Amino acid sequence: MSVQSIYNNVAATNVNTAAKTTEKKNEEVNTTTAESTKGFDETAVVYEKSPATDSVTTKNNAIDREAIIAQMKADTEARMNQLTDIVKKMMTGQGNAFAIASGDDIWSFLASGDYTVTEAAKLQAQEDISENGYWGVEQTSDRILDFAKALSGGDVSKADELLEAFKEGYKQATGAWGKDLPDISKKTYEAVEEKFAAWKAEANTPAENTPVEETTTKAE
């Protein structure tokens, strides 16, 4: 065999060996890549909030709830104070009208600073405290209940709280009067209680079902 033939055989062998080595390495790389990506699904990639993000969200929700509860309490207290103040002024006004009309306990009215009670004022006061008058039992108790309903937004579940506010207003009016309010005010107190009870009873009474008209089918 010539030297050239031997050289050609060696070169061919080296080329084949190099090719096989490269192929083997490629197979190893492919195998490693397949193993490392085994079970990986690009469509299943989902962002998950970190525990820290969840904690911040929970804390903010808790703060929001506390703020809402605090606001509800403040609103309720404001409604109660409003009715208490209204009742105090109304009962005091009723008492003053009674004092002018009857001439009894006139000192309570004079204590307000108005020392002039004319005959016309006395006649007007007598009309005002009459059965159908502005300061009469019916109209005064109606106004108090109307104010309560307005403050509650028509929510009868607030009735008991508002009734307590009425009682507090009556108590404050009694204190401002200096002694027990006149009999007309006591009757108004009773009328208010009765009307609150009627309001609650009316709300708790189920609506009557409309009767269904019966139809007669003629036999064929």
pLDDT at 73: 76
**158-183 burial, b for 16+ CB within 10 Å, e for fewer?**
bbebbbebbebbbebbbebbeeebbe
Mean pLDDT of the region 196-216? 70
> What's the pTM?
0.61
pLDDT at 10: 41
Tens of pLDDT, residue by residue over 11-70, are 444 445 544 554 554 555 445 444 444 443 444 444 454 555 556 566 666 677 777 877
Q: Where are the alpha helices (H) located in the chain, listed in sequence order? A: 3-36, 51-102, 106-110, 119-128, 137-152, 159-177, 183-204
Distances from the Cα of 92 to the Cαs of 95, 102, 127, 146, in angstroms? 5, 15, 17, 18
Instruction: Give the residue, 81 or 24, on which the prediction is more confident.
Output: 81
